[in-house]
Structure 1
Amino acid sequence: MISSPDLDAYRSEFPVVQEQLYFNHAGVSPTSQRVATAMREWVDDLLLHGVRFERGWEARTENARGLAARMIGAAPEEIALVRNTSHGLGLVAEGLDWRPGDEVAVATSIEYPSNVYPWLHLRDRGVVVREIEPRDEGVTPEAVAAALTPRTRLVALSSVQFASGYRTDLEAIGALCERSGVLFCVDGIQSVGCIPVDVKKSRIHFLSADSHKWMIGICGIGFLYVDRNVLPRVRPVLVGWRSTTDSWNFNRSHFELRPDATKFEEGSHNYAGIYALGAALGLLLEVGMENVEARIRALLAHADAELRAIGCETGPSAEHRAGILAFLPPRGDVKALASYLSERNVSFSLRRGRIRISPHFYNQPGEIDRLVEMVRAFSGR
């Protein structure tokens, strides 16, 4: 496998490579030099000038919003800036006009809690959470179809399952939801920044993701997409001065909610986080999401082949893979292997009894080879 020189040139953006084999972008990513620079830029502005250049902060906010929209094929007015994925999903769950007996279809047994708890929290409003039965450690269109009833109002699922790495067929499920008259809500944190995402092509109504995983940003900032056609149906559960149409006029009370997704932004922004988000998204768009996806796919194919060659059990298969590969060693306890790798400065996650690796575009095949050699050495002890 030949690495792209253009992608390798970006390694200087990520000094973490000097310290670790970093394969944990599905967990918490290291950020880049340009993200750190962008954050310092805002902090230094505040330090030296106070609020003098506040208009510039707002301009950078709108720039970040536009970049987020580009990342997923949306319009800027469909993007709200949120604290994290859970925040965005909670705004959707709490903002819809549920009726007793309404159903939400969720694969609670395999989903990350962020995409389970907001829906379970609706039970005291009479909403029923109907289980989607997972197949092959993922959610298939057939499984979703089997879970739908005349009472189903919304299907909630992850674009990629966090533990198994199974990639959901969003287009097929989106088409199914459209035919059934059901809203489609996606936890996109394991796909945005890893693979190309097109919310319109996939007929997604809601998508929430924050930047500390595949977007290679920081914790505490992300975005929520709400399709313009359903925006009027979602009531903001938190409102403040920024939610309104005359938000910068503090001399009168004029409570008229904004008509776009910014109605979900109730108060003062996290500008340091927004500067970071803009820089992170700008870097990915500069590289090109098709190039990002191709490099990650190549790295995982290489890892899959080499790990299987030494007797590891791996998954998911290539056709259901996005950015995650999970594996078991041929011999030895997986927890002991996890300790062995951690002691040797390998960053990964242990999820549901398997080692989960998730490289990004700046990783190299040689780093995968070093990991495989460690697994080989451990298994041969």
Structure 2
Amino acid sequence: MSPSIETYRAQFPVLAQQLYFNHAGVAPTSLRAAAAVREWMEDVVNHGVKYERGWEARAEHTRALAARIIGAAPGEIAFVRNTSHGLGLVAEGLDWKPGDEVAVATSIEYPSNVYPWLHLKDRGVEVREIVSSPEGGVTPEAVAAALTPRTRLVALSSVQFASGFRTDLDAVGALCERQGVLLCVDGIQSIGCSPVDVKRSRIHFLSADSHKWMLGISGIGFLYVAKDVLPRLRPALVGWRSTTDAWNFNRSHFELRPDAGRLEEGSHSFTGIYALGAALELLLEVGMPDIESRIRALLTSLDEGLRGLGCDTGPSPEHRAGILTFLPPKGESRTLSAWLGERDVSLSLRRGRIRLSPHFYNQPEEIERFLGLVRDFLGR
């Protein structure tokens, strides 16, 4: 473990108390992000609105960081409350016609990426099922099989929350481009865990909030909208900030901003934006390729160790991002999950399987401690 990684570990005091393998659920945030929130709070407590221009500048800095981490332009980024908020803006903003179809793997997707599309039923939009793979993922072949001449949009997760199956976004994006279909991605299980390039993958929309792999806090995230499709997305809500003359309160001049800022109808959540900025700075300092490499190495050790104890693990390495799931030999997932929780191991139980999701700062020694606990449980 290099000194630099030890320095980053010190930013997360929870690691001294727990084996934290739950970043696909709710991640701990850093001392750095907490300090950023306090910075804004101290400012407004002591100075009121005096330094408001600084708040706005920090928001634009954070917007640029969000763009950088996914390979977008700052003008293609809008702040949202959460992943659901961003996906809802896409679902409610497109010019649907009766008979249009959205292709979604409703049987495996997180509800945030199912309900916005089902909600379009009263507008005549039908949801067409993408058949999931045996490993619980979405393959390019399955997407191709679901497309019809009426398909307007494919909605999928970059990584499936329950199985950990990573979608081949490059292949799906190329397919959607050939078919003239929009691609909307729930990116919350990959941003901060694996490199994402929205341009290379030909993604039109991507939504993610910061309380998982980004190591931020709840209540803030971002929505990417590709510049060329932004004119096709009607804002579901508008307000003073949506317009080109936003800071002129002496007249009504309703002209929507030409960038994704048109989707931000009112005052910013500066506590969230400051925290998000600090979280993204930390990730970009470490570097997404290095983060991905470290997580993959940790998951490989977990996979080998758990299989050595007779557990069924998944997904397979070629479909893996930051999540490994497993089933104990006797199928005692719920009992083992509770037993580990009592011993300060943070993890999740999803669809009958234990889900593990370490981050870059977890140590090989922590993997060994975890495997020892599982060994103790199985040998009772």
In 1, Cα distance between the equivalents of 2:266 and 2:180? 34
Tell me the equivalent position of 1:68: 66
SS at match of 1:42: helix
In 2, Cα distance between the equivalents of 1:331 and 1:261? 51
Q: Alpha-carbon deviations, 1:1-38, whole Å to 9, x = none?
A: xx444323311000001110000000000000100000
Report the AA paired with residue 68 of structure 1.
Answer: A
In 1, Cα distance between the equivalents of 2:126 and 2:339? 44
Deviation at 1:334, TM superposition (A): 1.1
Query: Does the 8 Å CA contact 1:332/1:379 hold for their aligned counterparts?
Result: no
Deviation at 1:324, TM superposition (A): 0.2
SS at match of 1:13: coil
2:124 to 123, 126, 133: 126
Equivalenced residue count is 379
Q: 1:339 to 1:186 in 2, by over 3 A?
A: same
- What is the root-mean-square deviation in Å for CA atoms of aligned residues? 0.7
In 2, Cα distance between the equivalents of 1:108 and 1:328? 23
Deviation at 1:307, TM superposition (A): 0.7
SS at match of 1:217: coil
SS at match of 1:363: coil
Report the AA paired with residue 238 of structure 2.
Answer: V
Tell me the equivalent position of 1:312: 311
In 2, Cα distance between the equivalents of 1:341 and 1:292? 26
SS at match of 2:306: helix
Tell me the equivalent position of 1:190: 189
Tell me the equivalent position of 1:212: 211
For residues 289-300 of structure 1, the aligned pairs below 5 Å read 289-300=288-299
Q: Alpha-carbon deviations, 1:91-123, whole Å to 9, x = none?
A: 000000000000000000000000000000000
Comparing 218-227 and 333-342, the one that deviates more: 333-342
In 1, Cα distance between the equivalents of 2:5 and 2:153? 40
Tell me the equivalent position of 1:273: 272
2:95 to 94, 97, 101: 97
Report the AA paired with residue 116 of structure 1.
Answer: V
Structure 1 stretches of 4+ with a deviation exceeding 3 A read none
In 1, Cα distance between the equivalents of 2:331 and 2:10? 36
Deviation at 1:332, TM superposition (A): 5.5
Report the AA paired with residue 357 of structure 1.
Answer: L
1:12 to 5, 10, 13: 10
In 2, Cα distance between the equivalents of 1:59 and 1:275? 11
SS at match of 1:341: helix
Tell me the equivalent position of 1:365: 364
2:114 to 116, 125, 139: 116
Report the AA paired with residue 27 of structure 1.
Answer: G
Tell me the equivalent position of 1:46: 44
In 1, Cα distance between the equivalents of 2:200 and 2:5? 28
In 2, Cα distance between the equivalents of 1:145 and 1:203? 16
Query: Does the 8 Å CA contact 1:311/1:329 hold for their aligned counterparts?
Result: yes
Q: Alpha-carbon deviations, 1:294-315, whole Å to 9, x = none?
A: 1100000010001111111100
For residues 329-348 of structure 1, the aligned pairs below 5 Å read 329-331=328-330, 333-348=332-347
SS at match of 1:327: strand
Identity %: 75
Q: Runs of 5+ in structure 2 lacking a partner?
A: none
Tell me the equivalent position of 2:86: 88
Report the AA paired with residue 305 of structure 1.
Answer: E
Deviation at 1:185, TM superposition (A): 0.2
In 2, Cα distance between the equivalents of 1:88 and 1:310? 42
Deviation at 1:154, TM superposition (A): 0.2
Query: Does the 8 Å CA contact 1:324/1:358 hold for their aligned counterparts?
Result: yes
Tell me the equivalent position of 1:231: 230
Q: Runs of 5+ in structure 1 lacking a partner?
A: none
Comparing 366-375 and 162-171, the one that deviates more: 366-375
TM-score, normalised by the number of residues in structure 2: 0.99
Tell me the equivalent position of 2:284: 285
Tell me the equivalent position of 2:21: 23
Tell me the equivalent position of 2:375: 376
Q: Alpha-carbon deviations, 1:315-368, whole Å to 9, x = none?
A: 001100000000011236211101110000000000000000000011001111
Tell me the equivalent position of 2:257: 258
